Structure 1
């Protein structure tokens, strides 16, 4: 595994060659740097500047971040962006972590086809992870139960509460379903 200092040293050396043609050895170094520093595969295009562009991307990352990209055992296919339904979380290869990938795959196991690389034991890993449970706010459950008792429909309540926030965080559709279920159970317990 390459260290940050070694990667920076190679990038500095290659930066001096950038105005000239890269040798075969230089191109191999750029491909290795790209994989080791950015944790993604270099894709050669028909563009003559793809090696120069890759070197600039590597060098800029090293100087800006001061470290190598942290390794994730999961890598998305080129161009794939994952947005987790009901949240503002968006993942690309730039920010995907093992935890984020496994949480996503726990919810959407068929999403494995969006990943270029993943560990062989990914199914075992996600089987052991519980889906995050929603801790319900009792005041909201009581409020919803009251509205249901007054004749409001679940559909109308979903519309009314879709922008509702608890502790500064928007209520997701899944959480709202949990609240409505708890409110329904509360009303049934009173009968």
Structure 2
């Protein structure tokens, strides 16, 4: 727990920490443990996968009336977004969420851009991933996080473009006359 939070707590709330820091005469507390107990060590935030699990727990009441299938359909895109981020930026996938930088998020966006340009997928799919990851971090920070954390996935969306995988040719005049107008 960071020292600024410890200072806002009452003496009674901090007493167990102080007692643990004091240790016993037979067994001295190691210096790194002392520093941690007294709030001198930065908070270690969980990795993205753990944040997803906590986010699911924290938002459980939003899904009370959903069927098992609806809950499954709600989980799948968030888990897929997580998996895609792990594929695109593997060096940061296991790090704490405070270690995920805007550059990592931009590398994820570049990974999606390359796939869109290659015709493998659509911009809409990438935007969904950005939205899900941003939502997970935003809600987790609001409900659980003790520090202000900048959301690296905010405002990554691709603009509205004509998607080559979705565009369809118009009906011919002859087809409309022979099929629809008859």
Normalised by the size of structure 1, how large is the TM-score?
Answer: 0.26
TM-score, reference length from structure 2: 0.27
Higher relative contact order (CA 8 A, sep 6+): 2
Considering fraction of residues, name the structure with more helix: 2
